[in-house]
Every structure is written in C-alpha cells, then in structure tokens.
A and B are shown apart, each in its own frame.
Chain A
Amino acid sequence: MPSSRDTSGAIAITGVGVRSPLGDSFAAVADALLAGRPAIRTVDFGTGMEGVRTLAAPLADGDCVAAVPAAGAVGRLERINLQALAAALADGGIDPRATGPRLGLVLGQGAEHLKEWEADFRGGGRDVFTGAGAEPLVERLAAATGCAGPALTVGAACASSGFAIALARSWLDAGLVDICVAGGCEVLSPIAMAAFHNLRALSRWSGAPDQASRPFDRQRDGFVMGEGGAFLVLEPAARARARGAVIRGLLTGVGTSSDAAHMVAPCSDPTQAARAINAALADAGIAPGEIDYVNAHAAGTPVGDVAEAAAIRRALGDAAATVPVSSTKGLSGHLVSGAAAFEALACLVAFDRRAIPATANLDAPDERCVLDHVRGQPRERAVRIAASNSFGFGGANLCLILERAA
C-alpha cells in the first residue's frame, strides 16, 4: 500500500470474537494458523451416523457435538454465537447499553431454523411439526448483549458471515448506525453431516483424519465440516481513531456477484467469481499487484477449487503469478456460515504476525490450480492488503478487501 493511500473513509475493525476449532481468542487462532496443525479428527455424532466415517473439526474446547440438547437449555447454536459476539464487543471496548440504538447487529446464518428444529427434535420437541419456536436467533443475541439498534439475519450459504460484514459496512456508510457487529458461527450436527455426506460434498478420505481437508491438492475429494466462526466490530475509521480504539484492520472493499447457474453444483465458469474479486478491488481503489495475500475460499472440492483458481488468475491477471494464496480450511475445516468471518480474521492474523498461514495438506498442487501457493510453512511477509474470497451454494460470490491499519 503506498504511503499516500487515503483510507480515512474506510471502515475499521476494532474488535474480534472467535469460537473455532483452532482456538477461542485472536492469539490462539493466530498461533494455531501459523503452527499449521489441522484440527480435523473423527467425531462422534451419536446414533444415526453408523457406517459413516465422520471427519470434522469440532470446537477446540471439546464442546460435545453428540450431546442430546436438554429441554429448555440454551442451544449450542445460540451459545456459540453468543460467546463469539460477546467476546467481540468486549475486545472492541463496546458497552452496548451505553451505545443505544446506533449499535447494529448483522448475523450471518445460513440455516438457523433447520438447526434449531433439529436440536429441538433430538431433545424430544415438536417445533418442526407445529411451527412453534423461539424468537429469531438474532433477536435473542441482541437481547442478551444489549445491542439496541437494527438487527437482521443474512443467509448466503457458505458466504453468510461475509455478506453480514458487507451489509454492516453499507449501514455504516449510510449512517444508519455508528457501530455494527457482524459475523456468525456454525455448529456441527448429525443432519448437516448426513445431508452433506449424501450430497457427496464431504471428503471420504480414508487416511489420517488431519490430512482429509486438502485445498488445491491433487488428492482432494471434498470438504470437511468445522464449527465456529467469528464476529467483527466495525465502525468508521475516523470514529475509531477519535475514541482511541485499537484498529486491527480496515475493511476497504467489497465485491459481490451471482453465478446464476445451479442451486447445488459449484459453477465451473469463473466469470462471476472473478467479477466479484474485481469489484472488490475497484471498490477499494487498488490494483491487483498491490495485494499481498489472497485467503482463498478453497474448501477442497474437486470443481470448486479449480474454478476459484481460475477466477483468481482471471481477476488478478499477470499479478496472479506472484500474489501469495492460501486456504485456511485445511486447518480449520469449512466453518460454512461462519467461514467468511473466520477467514477475514485469518487476514488480520497475517497483518499482525507478518506471516501468511500455509495451506495444509497441499502436497501436490493440482496442475489446474496454478497459483503462488503458500504451502509447507507459513510465508513471512509484511502483509498490508489482503483479499478474502467466499463462495456459497446457489452461486453467491463475495470478496472482501482488508488492509492493515497505518
């Protein structure tokens, strides 16, 4: 980033909260990403999954996936999201009750009702049959934390929490709110595991579990689900500086597009994904060669990784040969609704630690995925500008441009 670059109108990231397979704090996640030890293992999903090798990346603290929910208890989905949201507010030094209606909340959550009906059903409830149920999750999160401004839930499949961040920025730009918390967390569940398994989207790797998630590798055969995610506190940079907040990074560009191709299958045509990346670059006012790191969506699916590599090459042009790229899903698994926010946090780690996490298990890059891959070891580099890609079922494409605060 040239020193003359004006980011005074940018949105600052002044707080982060995380629950993930790699840790539950910024420092823990940073250490784990750079240590390069995958959190993927065989997970007990309880009855109903017999005969399936259930590889997944559960939360680092051992919160039990298979436990049957107790009646009346706060469900895992709410609990995990609330923990990450509260941690973000605390990290940002935000007192919601003092901020009032100018504090917004945007939750990225792809299938809230399906997960809550499942949890209720496993606990003996009948909400899915009657249509009864609790208040929307975003309402409960807002009430529990005291966020009193506008609050909404955004669903864009695997890009949900990234779209939440994008929408939060638009609220800030429009003056609808002064501060907005955005992000989301995913939970593992038997039904999601079974559905993705039957869709043949999951890895059926028969070797060591921690080698199952293999973005861009020739032997990749699907993604591995993980759980958790992140929330980011966003506010105008000028406001953040005025209150003396610690600025972990700046959100300077957002690009979105839709493949409009298929409800389920990844789109092999990279045109629209490349358009989202180019739109984000244009929004940030930067050239492709100024990017120091691309955090790829790359989940380890045979078609999706090839399409993304092609999209990156098309969007960055000649610069693609020298812009480092890695996917953190080899370590964390695919956090689905929470993936985009968690991977934005991974970019903040690269700023903070001056190093790019390596793609785990990238032993032999697919020749159709030619990029400047970071593999084996983290790459030391003073990362100033990062692009984070997220792509979802149904063709929702998103690219966020993040910059290190000056």
Chain B
Amino acid sequence: MATIQQLSTRHVLGIKYLTAADIELIFQTAEEFKEVINRPIKKVPSLRDITVANLFFENSTRTRISFELAEKRLSADVVNFSASSSSVKKGETLLDTVNNILSMKVDMVVMRHPAPGAHHFLSQHINANIVNAGDGTHEHPTQALLDAFSMREQLGDLAGKKIAIIGDILHSRVALSNIFCLLKIGAKVRVCGPPTLIPKYIKDLGVEVSYDIRDTLHWCDVANILRIQLERQELKFFPSLREYAQHFGVTKALLDELDHPIVIMHPGPINRGVEITSEVADSDHSIILQQVENGVAVRMAILYLLAATR
C-alpha cells in the first residue's frame, strides 16, 4: 500500500460529510484493492483483529454481500445482524440494539436503516466507526462512490462530464449521494423523471431538472438509471408501470438515436422492462456488472481507511 493518508472523518455517514480530497483518496485506494481482488489470492491482512458488525435493519442482498466480501478480503472478523425495520419500532430501540452488539467489542459498524439520519444519531452515542450502507431516502454513500469510481474508469477525470440520473429521484438515497459526489468532483448533473418523483427543491443543490428522457439521453455521457422503488411509495406517484416504462424507460430504440457514446449504469436490483429494457441492461453500453465488482474494491478502501483513523 502507498503511504497512509487519512480521511477527514471517523465515519462515512454520507457523501455530504466527505471532502473532495477524501473522495480522491478513496478512489486511489480502491484502485489498489481492485488489483488485489483480481489476484489468485484475494485476501490481505489489513483488518486483522478488527471486528465489523453488519447491521441490516432493512433488506439487502448485494450491498450486504459486497460489504461482507470486502470485510473478509481484508481479514476482518465479521458478525451479521438482520432485522425488519418494524421489529426495532416494536421493541428495542436502535441505540439499545447497537450498544448490545458493541458491548461484545465490535470496532466498526456497517449499517442499513430505514430512517434518514439514523447513522448520524448513532454516531453521537457510540464509539465505533460507522459506515452508512443506506439510511432511508437520505444517503447511500458507498453506492455513490462505486458509481463515480466506475464512471471514472470509463471516462477518466469526471470534471465537466455530463451525468444524468434518471427515474425515481424522490425515494432514492442513491440519487442524493450521487448528486453530492458528482458535484464535489466537478461533474455536471441532471435529474430526469416524472415531476411527481422529483423533489421540488432539488435544483437548489446545483443540478439540472428535465422531464424529457430523449433529450436527457442526448445530453449525457452517462445515464445512471434508478430503480422504481415501489416499496417506498405509499401514494401513487405515477399511474402505472406500463405508462412509466413507455415514457421514462430507457430502450434500445432511444439509444440507437444517439450520435455519441453513452455509458449505462444501474445500482440494482433492476426492474427489467420498467426503467430499463433487457436489451439495454445487457448491451455493450452497460457497465452494471462492473459496478458490482467495483463495489467490493471501494468498500474495502473505505473500511481500510476508516480503520486507519482508529
């Protein structure tokens, strides 16, 4: 490893709380770990004797596995905890649950939780390093970092590059973290979707807003297409999936119109035939599976750098 530089923070609660230098350091470190995980022997001893608890108060498959792989490849001891969000509301408070786990001498907590700011709340009360693996509709910083890392692999420096985030912006923690991250590293960002799924004040963050998918695809270098979060919609924000797919879905026909290269991304899980057709998801434009691979390297980098702040 190169000489250790430190993050400016003990926790990764959100991209909001990272500096541009932190992001660059994470990228550089992730590049090195990406090389490591492509070796025949993928494991390094960097987190030996560090215990990481993965606390998932909300369902997750890929993020949980990605973190667990990252932790194991760094030789950390890993404990997993899953609970539905409702069990916490019914009985034990978040603080009690986490304190119980921490009394078993856990050094780092990777947590997904349905309440925005849950990690922030926790960071004021516990001593372990905290990594946000998604807090409601607030942030999902490791996803944003792996997205930007993947874009950088394709396009080089992202300063001035045009990135579109398409779909359900209102219910998406990925959108918010992506916006914060991309703006910090100098990219231009546009969000696109039906107006009912775009927060009224999102422009004030410094992004463009469009309701026109065709125009947006012509504009952008990268289209990061978000999942329609049916599970978070207590109201009908659009009339039907059929109409959504017809007017906001990314199709091969739309991509065929373009006169410039485009990178297609999706944080998963994909609703094939809704926000993106199978043809597009599986096309040469798509780097969806590279995103997943990079996820492990980026998460290794974050855990490694946080351990260095201990």
Q: Please indicate whether A and B come from the same complex rather than being unrelated chains.
A: no
Using a CB–CB distance below 8 Å, which chain B residues touch chain A?
Answer: none
